[in-house]
Amino acid sequence: MYLELPKKLQALVDQGHAVANEVFRPISRKYDLAEHQYPKELDMLAAVLDGMNAGDAESGAGAGALEQKKKKERREGVRNGGNMATVLGLLELCWGDVGLALTIPRQGLGNAALSAVANEEQLKRFAGKWAAMAITEPGAGSDSAAIRTTAVRDGDHYVLNGEKIFVTAGERADCVVVWASLDPSQGRAAIKSFVVEHGTEGMRVERLEHKLGIKASDTATLVFSDCRVPKENLLGSPEIDTQKGFGGVMQTFDNTRPVVAAMGVGVARAALERARELLRAEGYRADYDRAVFNTSAVEAELYRMEADLEAARLLTIKAAFMADNGTPNSMEASMAKAKAGRTANSVTLRCAEICSTLGYDEGELLEKWARDSKILDIFEGTQQIQQLIVARRLLGLSSTQLR
């Protein structure tokens, strides 16, 4: 078992860290205070990522590299492909700023869905598009199967009606991958995803949300009123399969949850490193030769946070590795998301507390990181939902048997 970083991905990690340090951090506070203002500085970065992905899509840096294994022949031996590259890249970028990482053009959750389930024609047609993902509704949050947005076939189109809330990049993206039901009476199996481009008649941005953190990223409410979408924009099969229909849609999360976990690891590492620097300036020195019970309370707390962070990092790496190698990773993806989300919340908040007034003041980014980290334990499935998924997998129970 090798835990060293693959050499072919080291350059990507170095580039991600450089972007985080030289681009993200200098403008981090600016866009935290200027909520809903688009960070123009990201346009050049998006172009660079596009070039990296075009040069080697399998080990590219963005969301478009996810799930490449489904579109290529299986190879002998282990692989570190698009999932690992995306996880490692986002970890570094979120060491810089979570909100800015979430609003890089063409790197949204919708792009991950396109890469995962779009056919060859759709991949070509939507190439270069920035895609958001619209799942959550006023009455359907963690339980995605409770979706009530409908899609009714009408000739060569589907007519969508419903409301979606908390859509990341919902206003800025070029298009939105919308989850809707072909027939609510058929339950989960009837839920499909559709690509709806901005400008389509019947789709409108109702409002932008004001948030606790990730303020550089826009979060929108979208309304669909008799919105006509070409039938060719349906992702996957139009048939309702009661055996596996919804499961296929949900598999997108097996790849994107490790990505969110990596974001949590990145911001937690940033907070822990900065707390260490500030404490070192006050005379605190790490002494790993001494037992925890023989150190100061602050040092003992830092050691515990380091252990939690390393556990979250390794779970995240494992989940991404399994995805790259075609191994079912639903349980591991949820484990990584649950552990990293909880760790990011606890580490960033505790670091702000330990650093006292410095951690609470806008002169430092510690208080911002504590606010930004909260979303990482909520979106892509809350902490409680991840624990429920893990329990189902461990006990061999279905969603109807364990709710």
Known catalytic residues? 380
DSSP 22: I
Give 158's strand partners.
153, 229
Give the C-alpha separation, 398 to 386, whole Å: 14
Closest CA to 110 of 43, 51, 40, 194: 194
Decide if 8 contacts 52 (C-beta within 8 A): no
Distance CA 335, CA 328 (A): 13
- Contact in structure between 252 and 111 (CB atoms under 8 Å): no
- E-strand stretches of 182-302: 191-197, 203-208, 219-230, 234-235
The residues that bridge with 153 in the sheet, in sequence order, are 158
Among the listed residues 63, 59, 69, 76, the one whose alpha carbon sits nearest the alpha carbon of residue 7: 59
To 10 degrees, what angle do helices 330-354 and 297-324 make? 150
Beta carbons within 8 Å of 90's beta carbon, 6+ residues apart: 16, 101, 259, 262, 263, 266
Q: What gap in Å lies between CA 94 and CA 373, rounded to an integer?
A: 10
Task: Give the closest residue to 269 by CA, choosing from 391, 80, 94.
Answer: 94
CA 30 to CA 39: how far, in whole Å? 9
